[in-house]
């Protein structure tokens, strides 16, 4: 019988601080509520028998959408604040080091890794370059777009003289042509966000299995666990 002399080793790095983890899960829940209620606002439920005031289903759906929207707005403002107040990993999705040669090199490696071409994953204390780029474009900017267009649409209901109308509706709706056009673009933004969430979940599960480092549990505990002794490759 041949005995293996290889030893299993683990190391851990504290990455995601508690405020960031709390924001992540509250924001995730709010986005789910926004997507579900937003879908039904665009594709209303069939009529129900009886008087509307006995049910008020669409009214509750709209109310949930607006509440979840404000939760996302407040949470996003906090997330920007924490990017400056938290540790160095908190700034990653906002500031991409595109001026660094190593960043492009490692981005290319991640593309090969996700395409099943590269044989070995790299170890990162935080997000890898491809994850940073994806979250910056498909999450940060799409979320900003949804917040601005959502407030512009909400301002139609609050009316002239309200801050939602004066700061958002007054210039955003004409920019897109008219209200119905803005509704369409806001809905497209919702589908982009849904695609991002699906990809985000797939990649987290994939990396947790294939890259020999914890991904899913990291956003729960804050600790990134590395299941071997390979040196750290990331530069963040």
CATH of the domain at 183: 1.20.950.20
| Distance (Å, whole) CA 73 – CA 151 | 10
Q: Is residue 234 part of a domain?
A: no
Q: Residue 219 pLDDT > 50, yes or no?
A: yes
Q: Is pLDDT above 70 for 122?
A: yes
Provide the pLDDT confidence category of residue 58 given band limits of 50, 70 and 90.
confident
pLDDT score for 227:
73
Tell whether the model's pLDDT for residue 189 goes beyond 80: yes
Instruction: Indicate whether 209 belongs to any domain.
Output: yes
Give the tokens for residue 39: 């879908």
Q: Is the pLDDT of residue 102 over 70?
A: yes
Q: Phi and psi at residue 188, in whole multiples of 5°?
A: -60, -40
| Coil, helix or strand at residue 3 | coil
- pLDDT of residue 230 exceeding 80, the answer is no
Confirm if 16 and 222 have CB atoms less than 8 A apart.
yes
What is the C-alpha end-to-end distance of the chain, expressed in Å?
Answer: 44
Q: How far is CA 158 from CA 155, 164, 180, in A?
A: 5, 7, 17
Count of structural domains within the chain: 1
Do 64 and 33 touch, CB atoms closer than 8 A?
Answer: yes
Is residue 225 a contact partner of residue 217, using CB atoms and an 8 Å limit?
A: yes
Report the SS3 class of residue 224: strand
For residue 193, tell me if it sits in a domain.
yes
Residue 80 has pLDDT above 60, yes or no: yes
SS3 at position 137: helix
Give the DSSP H/E element, type plus range, for residue 11: strand 11-14
pTM value is 0.88
Decide if 183 is inside a domain.
yes
Q: Residue 178 — φ and ψ, nearest 5°?
A: -160, 175
User: Could you give the percent of the chain with pLDDT greater than 70?
Assistant: 89
- Which of 206, 231, 234 minimizes the C-alpha distance to 132? 234
Residue numbers of the domain that contains 199: 9-224
- 178-200: average pLDDT: 96
| 65 within domain boundaries | yes
């Amino acid at each position: 019988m041949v005995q293996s002399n290889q030893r299993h080793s683990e190391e851990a790095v504290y990455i995601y601080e508690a405020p960031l983890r709390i924001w992540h899960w509250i924001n995730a829940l709010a986005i789910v509520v926004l997507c579900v209620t937003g879908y039904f606002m665009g594709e209303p439920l069939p009529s129900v028998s009886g008087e509307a005031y006995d049910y008020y289903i669409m009214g509750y759906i709209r109310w949930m959408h607006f509440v979840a929207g404000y939760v996302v707005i407040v949470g996003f403002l906090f997330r920007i604040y924490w990017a400056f107040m938290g540790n160095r990993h908190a700034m990653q999705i906002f500031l991409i080091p595109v001026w660094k040669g190593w960043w492009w090199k490692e981005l290319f490696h991640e593309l090969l890794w996700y395409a099943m071409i590269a044989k070995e994953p790299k170890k990162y204390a935080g997000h890898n370059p491809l994850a940073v780029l994806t979250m910056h474009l498909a999450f940060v900017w799409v979320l900003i777009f949804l917040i601005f267009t959502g407030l512009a649409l909400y301002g139609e209901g609050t009316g002239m003289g309200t801050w939602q109308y004066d700061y958002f509706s007054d210039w955003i709706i004409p920019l897109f042509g008219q209200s119905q056009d803005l509704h369409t673009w806001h809905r497209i933004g919702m589908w982009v966000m849904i695609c991002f969430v699906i990809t985000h979940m797939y990649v987290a599960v994939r990396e947790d299995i294939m890259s020999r480092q914890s991904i899913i549990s990291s956003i729960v505990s804050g600790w990134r666990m590395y299941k071997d002794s390979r040196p750290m490759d990331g530069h963040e």
